[in-house]
A and B are shown apart, each in its own frame.
Chain A
Amino acid sequence: MSGRFFAVAAVAALALALLAPAAAAEQPASLTEIEKQVMCPVCGTLLQLAESPQAQRERVFINRLIDEGKSEAQVKDALVAEYGDEVLALPPRSGFSLSAYVVPIVAFLIALAALAVGVMRWRRAGGGPDDPRPTAGPSDADSERLDADLARYDL
């Protein structure tokens, strides 16, 4: 049951990571949207937050491509051709950069599986906060001494 759950979760997470860019590529280009997804390489911040002269030139470049009818993906490709992959606020979901998305998901699933296995082993071993089984009672000599003490104090 838990194995099937993990398999379905893994496939769903990978599908989301792989299919999201395809959906984004269909969106019409808009400066406001692209500004949220690309960096101002000189400022080291999102273009959306940058006000430097270089950022203004980058906006002019993006607007020119939008006016030419380029899609969002094409505009981002053009920015990558100018500045390299570093211009993207998130790494591309292809090639080695895909690992940035897949590795955390896989690591999370491995940690979840390890936790589940650990809990199962712990329960199988009979671990728990208190062992309900009774321990051995006092010896005969101890019992006699206890009775004598109790009789002496007349409780």
Chain B
Amino acid sequence: MSFRSVIAVLAVLAVLGLLVVGLVSKGSSGVGPGDPVPKAPLPQLEGTGSQSLADYRGRWVLVNIWASWCIPCRAEAPDLERFQRRYGGPKFTVLGIDSRDLSGDGQAFVDKYGLSYPQLRDGNGDAAHEYGTTGVPENYLVDPSGTVRLHAPGPVGDEYLSNEVAPLLPEVKQ
């Protein structure tokens, strides 16, 4: 094989490689029941530290992906807070992820609705992309081993939390 042929083959392989990398990086299909939850660390909404879902291993976690500009998020926030006050503790917590939002607006939202559960920040939307969300809000119930057990695209309310989430938390305080 001549030198020119080698160069041509390498050029074609490079283009194909770039296409494959592009498709793989764009084609995140997200997570659903049975999948491990993404564990990339995220900064806290308030303060300077960061947290990952790995820090919550051993606890049930209801991951709520939201944004202050999202109108349905305003409707579900009080219900999530009530659920947290009832079931929150060493074995369960709601965990908010404020996505594609201004941190000041996100903090104002937390203050307005008196949300007591921990909040992380996903300013560029990478975490929401990794979860495979199609909008906000979306909710994922994660079991103590870090596996997604429920996925609720769209807002959740008292009825969903009581009928779908609470029955999966047998050991959590009632």
Task: List chain B residues, Cβ under 8 A from A53.
Answer: 69, 71
Task: List chain B residues, Cβ under 8 A from A118.
Answer: none
Tell me the A30-46 residues at the B interface (CB within 8 Å).
41-42
A57 near B68: Cβ-Cβ < 8 Å: yes
B104 at the interface (CB under 8 A from A): yes
A54 near B69: Cβ-Cβ < 8 Å: yes
Least CB distance from A10 to B in Å reads: 22
B25 at the interface (CB under 8 A from A): no
Task: List chain A residues, Cβ under 8 A from B103.
Answer: 82
A83 near B67: Cβ-Cβ < 8 Å: no
B123 at the interface (CB under 8 A from A): yes
* Bound Cα distance A53, B104 (Å): 15
Looking at chain B, what size class is its interface with the partner chain?
A: 10 to 19
Least CB distance from A111 to B in Å reads: 13
As a 0/1 sequence over residues 41 to 83 of chain A, the CB contacts with chain B under 8 angstroms (1 = contact) are 1100000000011100110010000000000000000000111
B102 near A61: Cβ-Cβ < 8 Å: yes
B125 near A41: Cβ-Cβ < 8 Å: yes
Our pick among A57, A82, A85 for the contact of B69 (Cβ within 8 Å) is A57
Looking at chain A, what size class is its interface with the partner chain?
A: 10 to 19
B105 at the interface (CB under 8 A from A): yes
Query: Main secondary structure on chain A at its contact with chain B?
Result: helix
B124 at the interface (CB under 8 A from A): yes
Our pick among B68, B69, B102, B124 for the contact of A86 (Cβ within 8 Å) is B124
A82 near B67: Cβ-Cβ < 8 Å: no
* Bound Cα distance A101, B67 (Å): 34
Task: List chain A residues, Cβ under 8 A from B102.
Answer: 57-58, 61, 82
A28 at the interface (CB under 8 A from B): no
Task: List chain B residues, Cβ under 8 A from A61.
Answer: 102, 104-105
Nearest residue, chain A, Cβ from B105? A57
Least CB distance from A128 to B in Å reads: 23
Task: List chain A residues, Cβ under 8 A from B100.
Answer: 41-42, 54, 83
Tell me the B68-89 residues at the A interface (CB within 8 Å).
68-69, 71
Least CB distance from B69 to A in Å reads: 4
Task: List chain B residues, Cβ under 8 A from A84.
Answer: 123-124, 126
Task: List chain A residues, Cβ under 8 A from B71.
Answer: 53
Task: List chain B residues, Cβ under 8 A from A52.
Answer: 69
Contact sample, A vs B, 25 pairs, CB 8 Å cutoff:
A41-B100, A42-B67, A42-B69, A42-B125, A52-B69, A53-B71, A54-B67, A54-B69, A54-B100, A54-B101, A57-B68, A57-B69, A57-B102, A57-B105, A61-B102, A61-B104, A81-B123, A82-B102, A82-B103, A82-B123, A83-B100, A84-B123, A84-B124, A85-B124, A86-B125
If A41-B100, A57-B69 are given as contacts, then 6 extra A-B residue pairs at C-beta distance below 8 Å, sorted by A number, are: A41-B124, A53-B69, A58-B102, A82-B103, A82-B123, A86-B125
